[in-house]
Amino acid sequence: MKNGRLIRENFQIERLMFNEGFQIEQTGTQIMVHSYYDTFDFLLYQQSYYLYEEDERFYLYNETEDTVYPIRETKKMPFYNSGHFENHRELLKKIIGNRALLPVLSLEIEICNFIMTNSDQKTVARIKQVKFQKLNEGETLIFVEQLKGYKKEVKMLEEALQPYLGGKISSLQQHFFTTKIAHFDYTTRINIKIKSRDTLDTVVCKILKFYLDVIQKNIHGILEDIDIEFLHDFRVGLRKTRSLLVMLKKEIDPWIYRDFKQRFKKIMQKTNNQRDIDVYLDEEDYFRSLVPPEYFEDLHSFFLHLKKGRKNELRKIRRHFNTKFFRETFMQWNDLISSENGPLLISEKAKMPVKEYASGKLKKLIKRLANQAQKIMDHEIPETVHDCRILCKQIRYISEIFAPLFSEGELKYFIAVIKKFQEFLGAYNDAHMQKAMISRYQENIRNGREGEALEQLVPALEKKQEDNYLKFIQTFEQNKGVILEFRRLIS
Amino acid sequence: MKTIALYSIKGGVGKTAAATNLAYLAAKDRYSTLLCDLDPQGSASYYFKIRPNKKLNSKKLMKGGDKLLNMIRATDYENLDLLPADISYRNLDLKLDKEDKSSGFLKSALKGVKNHYDYILIDSPPNITLLSENIFNSADVVIYPFIPTTLSKITFDKLLALLKEKSMKTEKIHSFFSMVDSRKKLHGQIIAEMNQSNLNFLKTMIPFRSDIEKMGIYCEPIVHTKPRSDSAISFENLWMEIKTILQ
C-alpha cells in the first residue's frame, strides 16, 4: 500500500488478531508541519512533485517514484525559485523555469508508527497511520511497508486490514485538489485551431484576442512581483500583438494602426528597464564567475544597485499600469478585436484565405532577413544587429502563429534555425546593453575597487558579443539554403 | 561494491560479533549493506532474529543470482539485509568437491547480488576448507580477529603458510586484536610482538567485555543497544579503519 489507503474511523490497528504469534505494537508518534511550495500555477504538482519544508529543511517528493530527496538551500528568500537550491536545481529549473515558488499549503501531520513482529520478535512490516489536519474528521491514511523476505506476512496483514479500508487515495493529491488548483496557461504558446481556408479577419481576431488575454492575465503577477516570468510573458504577448499589427499594416485603418502601434510601443518602453535588469540579475552567478574572488564584495554593491534600480522601475510600472492611458488602451483594443464584423481589417484582403496571406508576408520577411544578415556580415554595427534580431523575432512569431497552416517538418526546422539566430543576436544585444549599463553606473561611482571589479566584466562581455556575432554569421552561412528553401516551399 | 570477509580458522574469536556490528555501522552510514551468514551455526542470523526461508539450502547458494536474491531478508534496521545461514551449509564443502566447483563459486554466486549493495560482509565458518578459499577469493579485504594468545599466533602462521602455498594474496588479510584483556600480561606481550612484525594489524582492539557476549540475549548489535559503551566505540573505530583501507 505504497500510496496509502483511507481507514475507518477510530480504527485501532493494535487490536488486529493474528495466529502464529504475530503482534502489532506502537513504536512512536510524531507530529510535524509540512509547508508545501509550488508555483502559482502548480507546475510541480502537475509533474507529481511536491516541495515541502519540515523543520526548516526542504524536501522534494516524487510521488510517481515514491521517493523523497532532501534539498539544500543556498540563501533565504521570501520567495524561492530553482536558483535558491544547491542540489536538484537542474530538475527544478526544467519543471518551473524562472517561476517563483510560493507557499501554497500548510499541513499538520500526526504519524503513528507501528511494527508487526513474528514469534521471534522480528519485525516483518512497518505500518504508518497518518492523520492530516485538513482531512475530514476521523479519516486517517494507512501505509504499510513490507520488509524484504516477508511477503507472506504482509499479505496476511493486508487481508486483516481489508474490512476496515476505504478507497485508494494519494493524500497529497487530495489536499492539493481541495486547495482548488486552477491551472491556467499564462504563456503565449498558442492553442488555436487554424485551417488554410479560414479568412484572414476571423483568424487574426481570434489570435489577437488570445494575446490580449495573455497580456491581461500576467498583469497581476507583475504588480505583485511574484517572479520575472510574468513581465516576460506580458512583453511577449505585447510583442506578438505588435508583430501582427505590423504585418497587417496595409489592411488596417491607418489611424488605428499608428495609434495602437504607438500605444503598445509606449507600454513596452515603460517595461524595458526592468526587463534589462531582470536579465542581468538572472545571470548574477555567471557574472560573479567572471571576476576573481577578491572582487566579490565590490561586485556585490553593483548588484545591490541593480536591485534598488529594479525597485524604482517596478514602482514606475505600477504607476503606469494604473493610468487611464494603460487601462483604456486595452479596453479599446478589446472592443476593436471583439467586434464580430471585424472593423479592425478594412481592406479587401480581410476575406482572403489566411494561408495565402501569411505565406506572402513570410516570404517578404525572409527576403528582408537575408538582406539584413548580409549587412551584418559586412559590418558589425550594434544597431543593425538589433534590427536584425527584431526581424528574426517577427519571423519566428508569425511562423509560430500560423504554424498549423504549413507542413510540420519543414516549419519545425525553419523555426529552429530562426530561434538559433535569435538566440545569438539576443545574447549579443544583452551583452551590448549590459556594457552600456556598466558604463552608466561607472560614471556615478566613487569607490575605485568597485570600478575595478566592473572593469573585469567588460572584456568578458565584449568576448560574449564577439562570440555570438561569429556564431550568428557561421549559423547563417550554414543555413542560408534552409531559409531560402523554406521561402520557396511556402510559395 | 566492496566485499569484506570476517574470517578465522578458530571458533569463538569474535568473528560474528564483529561482522554483526560492522554491518550495522555500514548501514548506519547509509550504505546499502548485506550480511551473508555462511556459518551453518547461524549465529549472525540469530543476532538479527532471522530464520531462513524454508527453501534456502546450499544448492540455492551455489546457484546464486535471482534465486539467492529471493532468500535475502531485511533486518529491523534500515539499509541492512541478511542472507540467513542454513544448516545445509555444513555440507557445502562436500558439494563443492563433488561437483568439482572451482574456488571461485562464491564470487560468481554473489555477482547477481552485488549491484544491489554497497557493502557485502561475510561471516565465515571457522575452518580451513574449499569454502574458505572461496571466501578469500571473493573478498576485497579479509578481516581476521586475533585473540592475543600463543595458540592464535601458531594458527595464524599456519594459515599464512597455506595461503602462500596456494599462491593466494596474503596482503588482503587485515587482523585486529579481539577479546583483549588488558589485565593479562600475555595479551600485552603478544600484541607488542605482532605489532613489530610486518603483518597488517589494525590499530583498533576490541576489548573482552560481557556486554558483547550479552548480544545473544538482546539479539541486537551492541553498537545499537549501547552506542556509548567502550565496546561500541571500539567497533566504530574498527569500521572507520576498514573504510579507510577500502578507499
Q: What is the pLDDT of residues B93-136, one digit of tens each?
A: 777 777 666 677 788 888 888 889 999 999 999 988 888 888 88
The residue of chain A with its CA nearest to that of B50 is A122
Could you say which of A115, A120, A148 has the minimum Cβ distance to residue B49?
A120
How far B152 CA sits from the closest chain A CA (Å)? 36
- Domain residue limits, chain A: 5-178, 194-344, 353-491
Chain B residues whose beta carbon lies within 8 Å of the beta carbon of residue A123: 76
B76 in contact with A at a CB cutoff of 8 Å?
A: yes
Chain B residues whose beta carbon lies within 8 Å of the beta carbon of residue A148: 72-74, 81
The residue of chain B with its CA nearest to that of A151 is B73
- Per-residue confidence at A479, pLDDT binned at 50, 70, 90? confident
With a pLDDT cut of 70, the percent of chain A lying above it is: 89
User: Counting runs of H as helices and runs of E as strands, what totals does chain A give?
Assistant: 14, 9
The residue of chain B with its CA nearest to that of A117 is B76
With a pLDDT cut of 90, the percent of chain A lying above it is: 19
B51 in contact with A at a CB cutoff of 8 Å?
A: yes
Asked if A148 and B53 come within 8 Å (Cβ–Cβ), the reply is no
Could you give the CA distance from residue A95 to residue A83 in angstroms, rounded to a whole number? 12
- Residue A196: φ, ψ to 5°: -55, -35
The residue of chain A with its CA nearest to that of B45 is A122
The residue of chain A with its CA nearest to that of B72 is A149
Grid cell, residue A31, equals 507530529
Chain B residues whose beta carbon lies within 8 Å of the beta carbon of residue A23: none
Best mutation site among A69, A122, A127, A147 for testing chain B: the one with the most B CBs within 10 Å? A122
Chain B residues whose beta carbon lies within 8 Å of the beta carbon of residue A121: 49, 219
Are the C-beta atoms of residues B104 and B110 closer than 8 Å to each other? no
**What's the pLDDT at A180?**
47
Bridge-based pairing state of the strands B119-123 and B73-74: unpaired
Q: How many domains, in total, are found in chain B?
A: 1
pLDDT at A1 over 50: no
Q: How far apart are the first and last CA of chain B?
A: 11
Could you give the CA distance from residue B214 to residue B211 in angstroms, rounded to a whole number? 5
Could you give the CA distance from residue B19 to residue B239 in angstroms, rounded to a whole number? 10
**What's the pLDDT at A313?**
94
Asked if A122 and B81 come within 8 Å (Cβ–Cβ), the reply is no
Chain A residues whose beta carbon lies within 8 Å of the beta carbon of residue B76: 115, 122-123
One-character DSSP codes across A99-132: PPBEEEEEEEEEEEEEEEE-TT--EEEEEEEEEE
What distance lies between CA A59 and its chain's CA centroid?
A: 21
Could you give the CA distance from residue A108 to residue A128 in angstroms, rounded to a whole number? 15
Residue B83 half-sphere exposure, CB side, CA atoms within 13 Å? 31
Grid cell, residue B183, equals 589485565
**H or E segment at B143?**
strand B141-146
pLDDT at A181 over 50: no
Are the C-beta atoms of residues B147 and B179 closer than 8 Å to each other? yes
B72 in contact with A at a CB cutoff of 8 Å?
A: yes
**What's the pLDDT at A303?**
86
Architecture (CATH level 2) of domain A353-491: Alpha solenoid (1.40)
**What's the pLDDT at A172?**
59
Best mutation site among A22, A118, A120, A151 for testing chain B: the one with the most B CBs within 10 Å? A120
Tell me: ipTM over 0.85: no
**What's the pLDDT at A405?**
80
Q: Average per-residue pLDDT in chain A?
A: 83
Best mutation site among B34, B49, B70, B116 for testing chain A: the one with the most A CBs within 10 Å? B49
> What are the residues facing B37 on neighbouring strands?
B123
Q: What is the DSSP letter of A147?
A: P
Give the 3-state secondary structure percentages of chain B, helix then strand then coil, rounded to 5: 50, 15, 35
Grid cell, residue A437, equals 549599463
Best mutation site among B68, B75, B217, B218 for testing chain A: the one with the most A CBs within 10 Å? B75
- Please tell me the CATH code under which domain A194-344 is placed: 1.40.20.10
Q: Region A291-304: what's the mean pLDDT?
A: 81
Asked if B73 and A123 come within 8 Å (Cβ–Cβ), the reply is no
pLDDT at A183 over 60: no
Could you give the CA distance from residue A319 to residue A368 in angstroms, rounded to a whole number? 38
Could you give the CA distance from residue B82 to residue A68 in angstroms, rounded to a whole number? 25
Q: Is the backbone of residue A228 left (phi > 0), alpha (psi -120 to 50) or beta? A: alpha
Could you say which of B49, B53, B219 has the minimum Cβ distance to residue A149?
B53
Same fold? A5-178, A353-491 = no
Best mutation site among A117, A127, A145, A148 for testing chain B: the one with the most B CBs within 10 Å? A148
- Per-residue confidence at A275, pLDDT binned at 50, 70, 90? very high
Question: Worst-scoring range by mean pLDDT, A227-241, A307-321, A344-358?
Answer: A344-358
The residue of chain A with its CA nearest to that of B80 is A148
The residue of chain B with its CA nearest to that of A145 is B74
Q: What is the CATH number of the domain that holds B236?
A: 3.40.50.300
Nearest to A487 by CA among A391, A359, A357, A352: A359
Q: What is the pLDDT of residues A88-141, one digit of tens each?
A: 888 888 888 888 888 777 777 788 999 999 999 999 999 988 877 655 555 677
Compute the count of residue pairs across chains A and B with CB atoms less than 8 Å apart.
26
**What's the pLDDT at B16?**
95
Nearest to B10 by CA among B182, B204, B145: B145
One-character DSSP codes across A158-218: HHHHGGGEEEE--HHHHHHHHTT------S--------TTSBHHHHHHHHHHHHHHHHHHH
Chain B residues whose beta carbon lies within 8 Å of the beta carbon of residue A150: 73-74
**What's the pLDDT at B91?**
76
Asked if B74 and A121 come within 8 Å (Cβ–Cβ), the reply is no
Q: What is the pLDDT of residues A368-419, one digit of tens each?
A: 888 888 888 888 788 888 889 988 988 988 888 888 787 777 778 888 889 8
**H or E segment at A454?**
helix A448-489
Are the C-beta atoms of residues A3 and A142 closer than 8 Å to each other? no
Asked if B72 and A148 come within 8 Å (Cβ–Cβ), the reply is yes
Could you give the CA distance from residue A476 to residue A388 in angstroms, rounded to a whole number? 12
H runs (alpha helix) in A379-407: 382-401
- Per-residue confidence at A446, pLDDT binned at 50, 70, 90? low
Architecture (CATH level 2) of domain A5-178: Beta Barrel (2.40)
Are the C-beta atoms of residues B205 and B167 closer than 8 Å to each other? no
**What's the pLDDT at A481?**
83
Asked if A147 and B74 come within 8 Å (Cβ–Cβ), the reply is yes
**H or E segment at A29?**
strand A23-38
Numbered residues of chain A with Cβ closer than 8 Å to any chain B Cβ: 115, 120-123, 147-150
- Domain that includes residue B101, residue range: 2-246
Nearest to A387 by CA among A412, A414, A421: A421
Could you give the CA distance from residue A244 to residue A249 in angstroms, rounded to a whole number? 9
Chain A residues whose beta carbon lies within 8 Å of the beta carbon of residue B53: 149
Could you say which of A115, A121, A148 has the minimum Cβ distance to residue B81?
A148
Could you say which of B53, B71, B76 has the minimum Cβ distance to residue A123?
B76
**What's the pLDDT at B84?**
93
Q: Which residues of chain B have pLDDT under 50?
A: none
Q: What is the pLDDT of residues A37-86, one digit of tens each?
A: 888 778 888 888 888 888 778 888 887 777 888 887 765 554 566 667 77
